[in-house]
Amino acid sequence: MFARVNRNSIRPTTSGLTALSRERVPSSEFHYRRDTEIFGEAEPAEFIYQIIEGAVRSYKLLSDGRRQIGAFHLPGDIFGVENGNVHRFTAEAIVDTTVRFLKRQGVEHVAAGDASVVRDLLFLTTKNLQHAEDHMLLLGRKTSLEKVAAFLIEMDRRSTAAEVMELPMSRRDIADYLGLTLETVSRAISILHNEGILNFVGQTQRRIVLVNRYRLAQVAA
Amino acid sequence: MFARVNRNSIRPTTSGLTALSRERVPSSEFHYRRDTEIFGEAEPAEFIYQIIEGAVRSYKLLSDGRRQIGAFHLPGDIFGVENGNVHRFTAEAIVDTTVRFLKRQGVEHVAAGDASVVRDLLFLTTKNLQHAEDHMLLLGRKTSLEKVAAFLIEMDRRSTAAEVMELPMSRRDIADYLGLTLETVSRAISILHNEGILNFVGQTQRRIVLVNRYRLAQVAA
DNA sequence: CGCGGAATTGAGGCTCATCAAGGAGTGTGG
DNA sequence: CCACACTCCTTGATGAGCCTCAATTCCGCG
């Protein structure tokens, strides 16, 4: 979930933060080291965030530690938008990450102000909802191979570099996004590799080239 | 997803359709027989619906027929609210159902009008998003028994009758909501029954009394 | 009263999780 | 510059949980 507004935007708006930022004090930037928390679930939501550089995961935990990542946020993405006054996810930097953040007032206050702000919030929330709806179908009804294929397609669509796809997140993060274990994710990627659908670039397993997007889409079903 | 606004409402608004209905032509009622489609996925979204009586499922399908139900809608619930101009789910009456529906104009048109309409839409969308986020955690990370327990708790919370809970949907519907098969749902309910956590009322398997809500909540984890 | 869909229950199989070992890349200190 | 440690990923063996297939019972409904 959480929309990426400055690319592939359905709406002709340039940034999605236009009205939001007009409304507020000058935004500040901040840097988070990898694996540090940006905000925690149930914490008061004071800011709205936009990623300048890096990557963020937002997730929920069960009491015994099981984790479900609801979304990955990439450069340009806005996250931390809440309607109530508390965050519904924990957000962590996956790698060293720079974010711009804007102080938000209470929704009641915002709603009383510029109507375009509310429209921006509605737009963002709808994008997030749409992503969550698609992800429910994936989590509830797709096989492990379909899940991994769908994940790669999503990351490919969202990545700026046309050729090589650089995954900032670990296999464990991917697994917790797809409702799998890291071993199953690894096996699925190996299958796609052996099938000639993707290739690794260099020595790392995080730089991937999609050799055959058509067959990948077929696998994703 | 899809909020129930006239009960357990966080917001002091009475109905949630106040501003929306003020804005429009007088609403009409319509009746749907059980198992008939109210609207289909990707169809143009012309109306907003509120259930007077009955129950509705909204779902997505994969090409091979696998189904994921995203939400059940009960009396009072509003559904079919879209930001874009097409529905993202198929909606079907689970039992004979009466709905009130309001013609909606394009969002652009609405947004240009009363700001409170946009605020109502934002509120509804946020409720739906919140439900979807919780449901992702359930689908991705909970066991079958935890899923079924969580489902019963949700239905208990939403049901009007204090004592006996009447489930309008079949085991298959429940299964497709929880990402399971109907047999697994049936087995989980049997376990809860044998554990003395719930009881059946009368001859049917759809009328359930929760005998021990505390232990049920523990099972849901 | 009898038919047909719905639910339960059982047996067996498959997918994915768990447990475990080893390799490859990266960073640190000598 | 190399050895060592640590993390991350892969791969294999095994097993558990859920699915599939099937039979039976139960209920609602004509």
Q: What residue has token string 């085991």?
A: B171
Retrieve residue B141's tokens: 């990370």
CB contact under 8 A, B122 and A121: yes
Measured in angstroms, the CA of A13 and the nearest CA of chain B are apart by 13
Q: Which nucleotide is nearest to A169 (CA to C1')?
A: D8
Residues of chain A with C-beta less than 8 angstroms from the C-beta of B88? 130, 133
Instruction: Examine the pLDDT at B44 and tell me if it is beyond 50.
Output: yes
Q: What is the mean pLDDT of residues A57-79?
A: 97
Q: Per-residue pLDDT tens for A18-57?
A: 566 555 556 789 999 999 999 999 999 989 999 999 999 9
Residues in chain B with CB shorter than 8 Å from the CB of A118 are 115, 118-119, 122
Residue among B51, B53, B61, B54 at smallest CA distance from B35: B54
What is the predicted pLDDT for the residue at A34?
A: 94
User: What is d(CA B69, CA B182) in angstroms, rounded to the nearest whole number?
Assistant: 13
Choose one of A114, A137, A160: the last residue of a domain: A137
Whether residue B122 is predicted with pLDDT greater than 70 in this model: the reply is yes
CB B80 within 8 A of CB B37: no
Q: Are residues B87 and B61 in the same domain?
A: yes
**Amino acid letter, B169:** M
Which residue's alpha carbon is at the shortest distance from the C1' of C26?
Answer: A204
Nucleotide nearest to B203 (CA to C1'): D27
B117 falls in which pLDDT band (50, 70, 90)? confident
Contacts of B3 (CB under 8 A, 6+ apart): B16, B77, B78, B123, B124, B127, B128, B131
pLDDT attached to residue B42: 94
pLDDT tens per residue across span B51-76: 999 999 999 999 999 999 999 999 99
Over pLDDT 90: what percentage of chain B?
70
Number of domains in chain A: 2
Based on C-alpha coordinates, what's the Rg of chain A? 18
Q: Side chain identity at B209, as an amino acid letter? A: V
**A192-215 b/e (C-beta count within 10 Å ≥ 16 → b):** beeeebbeeeeeeeeebebeeeeb
Query: Phi and psi for A100 in degrees, rounded to 5?
Result: -100, 135
Residues A36 and A81 reside in one and the same domain: yes
Instruction: State, as a whole number of angstroms, the distance between the CA of B180 and the C1' of C13.
Output: 17
Total beta-carbon pairs less than 8 A apart between chain A and chain B = 109
Q: What are the residues facing B56 on neighbouring strands? A: B73, B93
Neighbours of A38 (CB within 10 A): 22
Distances (CA, A) of B189 to B29, B147, B155, B174, B216: 36, 11, 14, 11, 11
Whether residue A122 and residue B123 make contact (CB cut-off 8 A), yes or no, is no
Chain B contact set for A178 (CB, 8 A): 140
Residue B122 to residue A125, Cβ atoms within 8 A: yes
Residues across chain A: 221
Q: Is the same domain home to A69 and A129?
A: yes
pLDDT of residue A9: 31
φ, ψ for residue A149, nearest 5 deg: -60, -45
> Within A97-181, where are the H helices?
107-112, 115-141, 144-158, 171-178
The CA angle A174-B150-B128, to the nearest 5 degrees, is 70
- Residue from B122, B130, B218 whose CB has the most chain A CBs within 10 Å, to mutate: B122
* Shared-domain flag, residues B7 and B112: yes
Q: Which of B86, B111, B137 is the last residue of a domain?
A: B137
Angle at A191 between CA A185 and CA A194, to 5 degrees: 140
Q: Indicate the burial class of B29 (C-beta count within 10 angstroms; 0-12, 13-18, 19 or more).
A: exposed
CATH number of the CATH domain containing B7: 2.60.120.10
Give the rounded distance of the alpha carbon of A155 from its chain centre: 9
Q: Which among B122, B83, B79, B124 is positioned nearest to B106, based on CA atoms? A: B83
Same domain as A132, residue A28: yes
How many Å apart are CA B48 and CA B25, to the nearest integer?
Answer: 12
pTM of the complete model: 0.90
Query: Helix, strand, or coil here: B8?
Result: coil
User: With 90 as the cut, is the pLDDT of residue A165 above it?
Assistant: yes
Same domain, B57 and B160: no
Closest CA to A90 of B175, B154, B133: B133
Interface contact B141-A70, CB threshold 8 A:
no
* Residue A29 and residue A125 in one domain: yes
pLDDT digits (tens, 9 = 90+) for A173-189: 999 999 999 999 999 99
| Tokens 């059980």 sit on residue | B34
Q: Please give the residue that has the higher pLDDT: either A11 or A159.
A: A159
pLDDT tens digits for B18-27?
566 555 556 7
Q: Which nucleotide is nearest to A170 (CA to C1')?
A: D8
Mutate to test the interface with A, among B2, B129, B151, B182 (most CBs of A within 10 A): B129
pLDDT of residue A154: 98
Distance CA(B99)–CA(A164), nearest Å, equals 51
Identify the band that residue B9 occupies on the pLDDT scale cut at 50, 70 and 90: very low
Closest chain B CA to residue A180: B140
Across chain B, mean pLDDT equals: 87
B64 CA: distance to closest CA in chain A (Å): 9
Residues B129, B166, single domain; the answer is no
* B109 and B96 assigned to the same domain: yes
| CATH code at position B178 | 1.10.10.10
pLDDT for residue A61 is more than 70: yes
Place of tokens 């530690």: A65
Name the residue among B64, B88, B126 with its Cβ closest to that of A125.
Answer: B126
Task: Protein contacts on strand C: list nucleotides below 7 Å from a Cβ.
Answer: 6-11, 15-20, 24-26
pLDDT digits (tens, 9 = 90+) for B146-190: 999 999 999 999 998 778 999 999 999 999 999 999 999 999 999
* Whole-number Å distance between alpha carbons of A83 and B146: 28
Interchain CB distance below 8 Å, B221 and A137: no
Decide if B133 and A67 are in contact by the 8 Å CB cutoff.
no
Boundaries of domain holding B206: 140-220
pLDDT per position as a tens digit, A71-124: 999 999 999 988 778 999 999 999 999 999 888 765 556 556 677 788 888 899
* DSSP-assigned beta bridge partners for residue B60: B68
Residue B140 has its nearest CB partner, among A64, A68, A125, at A68
Residues whose C-beta lies under 7 Å from strand D: A 170-172, 182-183, 185-187, 189-190, 205-206; B 143-145, 179-181, 183-184, 202-204
Residue that finishes a domain, picked among A81, A108, A137: A137
Residues A155, A76: one domain? no
**Can you tell me the distance from the alpha carbon of A106 to that of B151, in angstroms, rounded to the nearest whole number?**
32
Length of chain B measured in residues: 221
| Half-sphere CA count of B187, side-chain side, radius 13 A | 9
pLDDT digit string (tens) for B125-135?
999 999 999 99
Check whether residue B109 and residue B211 sit in a common domain. Answer: no
Give B-chain residues touching A121 at CB under 8 angstroms. 122
Sign of the dihedral defined by the CA atoms of residues B131, B137, B140, B146, in that order: negative
Which of A164, A189, A160, A159 has its CA nearest to residue A174?
A: A189
B24 and B127 fall within a common domain: yes
Q: Tell me, what's the pLDDT at A12?
A: 34
Q: How far apart are CA B90 and CA B62, in angstroms?
A: 12
CA distance A130 to chain B (A): 8
Averaged pLDDT for residues A199-211: 94
**CB neighbourhood size of B4 (10 A):** 20
